[in-house]
Structure 1
Amino acid sequence: MRLDVSWFPRGSGQEGMVELPPWSRVTDLLDELKETPDGVLVVRDGVPVPLDTPLSEGDAVRIVRTVSGG
């Protein structure tokens, strides 16, 4: 399946179409992008999703880098 991946802030990761097997979940996408789940929020079609969420052909996925500290 093909997913449309973007990042926030822009330029902080690989953007564009990503190919994954049809049974893939959010964790599989992060593995493919060599990204750890700590420090990111994954948004599919405008809604934050848990890491075990199944993905579907054509999903628009945005990966948001989180900021912490004092």
Structure 2
Amino acid sequence: MYVCVCHAVTERQVRDAIADGVHSMHGLRKRLGIAATCGKCARCAHGMLKEQRACPNAGADGKCRVF
């Protein structure tokens, strides 16, 4: 699914960036262009960041991993 249509950024790309250590909207904007144009994607991207904080072991698919 596309998160940012303006920059053709997919959910997978956002999750990969988060898994690679991007932990802020500023970081997503810098790396992927998220919320740099119209901003309609900001809520979705921010939600994905919050999910990662809630479950730091989440994989690139967003599913929480419990070890």
TM-score (norm 1): 0.37
Q: Which has the higher helix share?
A: 2
TM-score (norm 2): 0.38
Q: Which has the higher strand share?
A: 1
